[in-house]
Amino acid sequence: MQRYLYRAQCEAWNNPELHSLMRSRKMHIQEKMARGKVSTLSLFAHQHDYFLYYECEGEPVEPAGLLLEEPGLFAAWPGASKLRLWVPMMDIFHYQAPVSAEHWKRKQPGAEAYGRIALLRPEWVASYIYYHYQYQEEQPGAGHKYGIIGLHENLLFFYSERPAVLEAAPYSGKLQSRQTPENWVELMEPHFIKWEHRPPDQTIWLNLTLVLQAEPAYQKGDVDIHA
């Protein structure tokens, strides 16, 4: 089981039009998921930014093989020899990693995906990764089972699901030390560029709009849509 996080930007479409277009293709997306052995997929939005999370049980599947391919829908990202509409986000933290299909299977029906984003101060990126790797490998399973953080440039994308699944990881971490600081919230705050003009609980982690949450057609007859 592989987990993927991607980021895209939409310039030619406003959000309501794009959201509506995605929903109109729900069965088409589900069929592509089934063919590519993609077991779950969630798409989130904030203004012109889009964030994609999915899990694949077989060979790697590119986002273009799952979503819409209309020309001009998403802006191209520079920096590679081939055209990229979706750029991969690096997994820099996860509470657990899948070790088998049985371990990773959702045991609670009706789980809802949710996502948040945050901005790191560029000079604090290495510190953020250092502390999170330490946390991840000293305390595997110490948090939401499906929670994961991706990084692109200095932007963080956090994916998780509700209700939270809290259970011990079936493996040991790579670190035997016990140095994760107890004053975690206080330690993390200087790492972030705060969002302006947001509710007090979203000045660091900003909630994303869930555009689409889907399972493949062979598992479920419809797609769950959330505006």
142-171 per-position pLDDT tens digit:
999 999 999 999 999 999 999 999 999 999
> Edge-to-edge strands of the sheet including 209-214?
87-88, 2-9, 49-56, 38-46, 209-214
Q: If pLDDT is split at 50, 70 and 90, which confidence band does 69 have?
A: low
pLDDT for the residue 218: 60
Tell me if 222 is assigned to some domain. no
Indicate whether 121 pLDDT > 60. yes
* CA distance linking residue 62 with residue 197, whole number of Å: 36
DSSP 8-state assignment for residue 186: H
> Residue 43's domain is classified under what CATH number?
3.30.70
C-alpha to C-alpha distance for 16 and 106, rounded to whole angstroms: 31
Tally of structural domains, the chain:
1
More confident of the two residues 9 and 225: 9
Domain that holds residue 50: 2-214
Phi, psi of 112 (to 5 degrees): -110, 130
Q: Could you tell me if residue 223 is inside a domain?
A: no
Residue keyed to tokens 């998780």: 160
pLDDT over 50 (residue 198): yes
17 lies in some domain = yes
Alpha-carbon Rg of the chain, whole angstroms?
18
Is residue 64 in a domain?
Answer: yes
Lowest pLDDT segment from 3-17, 103-117, 161-175: 3-17
Positions of E strands within 29-128: 38-46, 49-56, 87-88, 90-94, 112-120
Lowest mean pLDDT among 30-34, 105-109, 216-220: 216-220
Strand, coil or helix: 46: strand
